Amino acid sequence: MGRPTSSSSSIDSPNHFAFSSTASSQRDLTTDLRLGLSISIAPPYVREQWPPMKAAVAEEEHECNCSTFYVKVYMEGIPIGRKLDLLAHESYYDLIRTLEHMFHTNIIWAEAEMDRDHYEKYHVLTYEDKEGDWMMVGDVPWEMFLSAVRRLKISKC
Amino acid sequence: MQKEMAYSFPDEVLKHVFSFIQSDKDRNAVSLVCKSWYEIERWCRRKVFIGNCYAVSPRMVIRRFPEVRSIELKGKPHFADFNLVPDGWGGYVLQWIAEMAGAYPWLGEIRLKRMVVTDESLELIAKSFKNFKVLVLFSCEGFSTDGLAAIAASCKNLRELDLRESEVDDLSGHWLAQFPETCTSLVSLNISCLGSDEVSFSALERLVDRCPNLRSLQLNRAVTLDKIANILRRAPQLVDFGTGNYAAELQPDVFSNLAGAFSSCKELKSLSGFWDVVPAYLPALYSICPRLTSLNLSYATIQSPDLIKLVSHCPRLQRLLVLDYVEDSGLEELASSCKDLQELRVFPSDPFGVEPNVSLTEQGLVAVSLGCPKLQSVLYFCRRMSNAALVTIAQNCPNLTRFRLCIIEPKTPDYLTLDPLDAGFGAIVEHCKDLRRLSLSGLLTDHVFEYIGTYGKKLEMLSVAFAGDSDLGLHHVLSGCESLRKLEIRDCPFGDKALLANAAKLETMRSLWMSSCAVSFGACKLLGQKMPKLNVEVIDETEPPDSRPESYPVDKLYIYRSVAGPRFDMPPFVWSMDEAVKILH
């Protein structure tokens, strides 16, 4: 049991994003390797829903920033969500980079191209707008997105 | 005819006597004495507590107790807190509200825990009860600020509105403005769970201004630090206060304003909130720290030195909730400063990290057990434990009533000897004779359950995960724990034998939850057939349990006693094993 951590099938391979060549070179490969190894030797317990705590208690440490806009981010299959300050990002690219790092996956959004043969390594990023509809991220200008977004969801392809 | 029976008092006298009897247990005992006492008691019972909303129907409650003024209901099983209960499972309050609306026009208090409360339910409450005073929604979901607006607008004498840990669709902050100018009765307001949308702060300020009896106020994270002083100056009588986010750039005038505002609150005993804490603002609390009995820092991501400084100013502390940033050193300081400590909860700051990010071990808990003789309630997340430490803790704290230990990695053995932690937990149940609640973790064999069955005579709630070797473990608990009411088990090799052998025990308990164990579908069906007073429900989100062989284990099982029969609001992924309910999916 174990997930391959070499570059050929890992989430590091750079050739499936139009813009990502800089993004992936900044990725921390040692972190990915270490996590990949630890997951591969971990016992086959359900990693989700453990340890037994309510989601709200484990908040992320973040910088003091008087102007913040936190939204919840859930990844499909993982019941404990994360929180992300959208105002700490300047653009969609910035946001995507943070999310890919946070959730260790490749993100599909309005401006991403993907390798259709390996769709299982991708997740689609959507957001819930003020009307309660789920929309793909990236279609409207960033500022408009900020005024409409209520929460984010990362779903399997 | 010999002598007049001395106890043929007029009903009014009995009623008056009964009115001094508040506890449910005593009231239940009173009602069993004779038929006339049963009748008199049921007409004057004002408060009903229903620990499982499916154990009885609204109609049955109303029929027996026609003049209830206060009701408390609990819905989902406790493991719902950890996302083990799928959405849509149940726990809807609407039917209860609808029936009580007709039967209890004078209902004044509704307290709900882990229930699904819709805006429709809230609107119905607002419309139906003219004397409505108390609404507590603890860990509930399904409603929005629109529903809250209805409550605020209609409930003229509202005293308590407490939304702690609920999931609210925060559509707008304007619901607060719906409290009429004539509403001056608020005593307690907890909106700490509300989202990051703007709370209408001016409406909040005006509300606080006109409610002189406000004792308890918990703000949400959206309220910034600079606003705290304004609120506190309007409510210096507060006893319990929850800040919003406690972060700002350090400015001397903001600091001194804040410190002054806190010091004017002479009754303040309990603090919480503290999102995004900037340590430089903690000294603003120092003037009230000597009076503090309760401090909830579970959102405060500050490091040990700052925590130590704060805690050392609070010698009267009885209750502390904190992140593991406190570290062993912080807990040692706690042990030396806070001799009145009764309750300690330490939460993990990085629960999913593989390596420990802080120096918090069993040593911290041992230090507190040594230094705090009044310790009664412990919830402790850590990454290592030893039998020796547990034995020491048990010997130091024989008065423990609640002991919940979560060693983060499942099946972790004693780090010194690599033995299972059976002996350590055994010492806990043996020495702590009043233990009512216990959560186990670490490497555990059937032996620990033998200890629990032997010594855990007052144990009412037991939580078990990744433990045990065989059905013998479950059998020890079910046959030995005389006071057991709630048992929740996940990922243990417990199967059919112990469950079927102790079926009668299940009727003496509120509920049993078992997930990822080895109980077969066949055994569930058998239990459902043989035990009509139990509701046996199988939860499976992937496929119907009868599409597989009967010997196949079920994914999740929830068994609870009920006088209402099987429920009819089950979603497609919940199957009742009651013979009367056809499996139609």
Write A138-145 long-range contacts (CB < 8 A, 24+).
A138/A92, A138/A109, A138/A110, A138/A111, A139/A110, A142/A90, A142/A91, A142/A92, A145/A92
Evaluate if residue A46 carries a pLDDT over 70. Answer: no
Number of H helices, E strands in chain B: 20, 23
The reply to whether residue A45 touches residue B247, judged by beta carbons under 8 angstroms, is: no
What residue in A sits closest to B86 (Cα-Cα)? A79
Residues of B in contact with A87 (CB under 8 A): none
Element (H, E) at A72: strand A70-75
Kind of pairing between the strands at B188-190 and B216-218: parallel
- Please report, to the nearest 10 degrees, the dihedral formed by the alpha carbons of residues A92, A98, A99, A101 taken in order: 140
Q: What is the mean pLDDT of residues B232-250?
A: 94
Nearest by CB to residue B165, choosing from A52, A56, A69, is: A56
CB of A44 within 8 Å of a chain B CB? The answer is no
Q: Which of A32, A37, A40, A53 to mutate to test the interface with B (most CBs of B within 10 A)?
A: A53
Structure tokens at A51: 């340890």
Q: Which pLDDT belongs to residue A121?
A: 77
For residue B375, which of B365, B384, B383 has the smallest C-alpha distance? Answer: B365
For residue A34, the chain B residues in CB contact (below 8 A) are 354
Of B84, B278, B411, the CB nearest to A64: B278
Residue B548, SS3 per DSSP = coil
Which residue of B83, B138, B350, B383 to mutate against A (max A Cβ within 10 Å)?
B83
Cross-chain residue pair B301–A61, CB shorter than 8 Å:
yes
Which CATH number applies to B6-45: 3.50.50.60, 2.60.60.20, 1.20.1280.50, 3.40.50.620? 1.20.1280.50
Chain B nearest-CA distance from A113, in A, is 31
Query: How many secondary structure helices (H) and strands (E) does chain A include?
Result: 4, 6
Distance CA B46, CA B287 (A): 42
Query: Among all chains, which residue has been given the structure tokens 């059937």?
Result: B446
Alpha-carbon radius of gyration of chain B: 26
- Give B93's Cβ-side CA count (13 Å radius): 32
CA B203/CA B180 separation, integer angstroms: 10
Domain ranges of chain B: 6-45, 508-584
Q: Which residues contact B491 (CB under 8 A, 6 or more apart)?
A: A45, A46, B410, B465, B466, B515, B516, B517
Contacts of A68 in chain B (CB under 8 A): 196
Classify B506 as helix, strand or coil: helix
Q: Binning pLDDT at 50, 70 and 90, where does residue B581 land?
A: low
Residue B452 CB neighbour total at 10 angstroms: 28
B128's CB contacts (< 8 A; 6+ apart) are B97, B100, B101, B105, B107
Q: Which residues of chain B lie closer than 8 angstroms to A48, CB-CB?
A: 83
Going by pLDDT thresholds of 50, 70 and 90, the confidence category of residue A101 is: confident
CA B285 to CA B297: how far, in whole Å?
13
Would the CB atoms of B249 and A70 count as touching at under 8 Å?
no
- Whether the predicted pLDDT of A16 surpasses 80: no
Q: Is A46 on the interface with B (CB under 8 A)?
A: yes
Q: What DSSP element (H or E) covers A40?
A: helix A29-41
| Closest C-alpha to A86, from A104, A100, A72 | A72
B137 confidence band (pLDDT: 50, 70, 90) = very high
The DSSP-derived string for B155-198 is -TT--EEE-TT-EEE---GGGGGGS-TT-----EEE-TT--SSP
Strand-pair partners of B111:
B72, B136
Summarised one tens digit per residue, pLDDT across range A64-91 is: 334 678 889 999 888 888 888 898 888 8
Question: What average pLDDT does chain B have?
Answer: 94
- Backbone dihedral region for residue B554 (phi beyond 0: left; psi -120 to 50: alpha; all else: beta): beta
Give me Rg for the CA atoms of chain A: 16
**Coil, strand or helix at B331:** helix
List domains and CATH numbers for chain A.
Answer: 70-156 (3.10.20.90)
Which residue from B minimizes the CA distance to A35? B354
In terms of CA atoms, which chain A residue is nearest residue B298? A57
- Cα(B75)–Cα(A150) distance, integer angstroms: 28
Helix/strand/coil for B464:
strand
Residues from chain B that touch A43, judged by Cβ atoms under 8 A, are: 410-411
Mean model confidence pLDDT for chain A: 68
> pLDDT for B25-74, tens place per residue?
999 999 999 999 999 999 999 999 999 999 999 999 999 999 999 999 99
C-alpha separations of B580 from B270, B420, B565 in Å: 51, 45, 9
Is residue B408 scored above 70 in pLDDT?
Answer: yes
- Proportion of chain B above pLDDT 70, given as a percent: 97
User: 3-state SS of chain A: helix, strand, coil percent to 5?
Assistant: 35, 25, 45
B411 chain-A contacts, CB cut-off 8 A: 43
Of B2, B24, B35, B3, the C-alpha closest to B14 is B35
Query: Which residues of chain B have a Cβ shorter than 8 Å from any chain A Cβ?
Result: 79, 81-84, 165, 193, 196, 224, 247-249, 275-276, 278, 298-299, 301, 347-351, 354, 381, 406, 408, 410-411, 439, 463, 465-466, 491, 516
User: Which of B169, B198, B298 has the most A C-beta neighbours within 10 Å, making it the best mutation to test the interface with A?
Assistant: B298
Residue B439 with chain A: CB contacts under 8 Å: 52
Amino acid identity at B393: I
Give pLDDT, residue B39.
94
- In order of B278, B311, B312, B402, B481, the CA distances from B330 in angstroms are 18, 8, 9, 22, 36
Q: Is the pLDDT of residue A42 over 60?
A: no
Distances from the Cα of B551 to the Cαs of A121, B468, B494, B526, B545, in angstroms?
A: 36, 21, 14, 12, 10
Contacts of B83 in chain A (CB under 8 A): 48-49, 55, 79-80
Checking if the pLDDT of A59 tops 60, the result is no
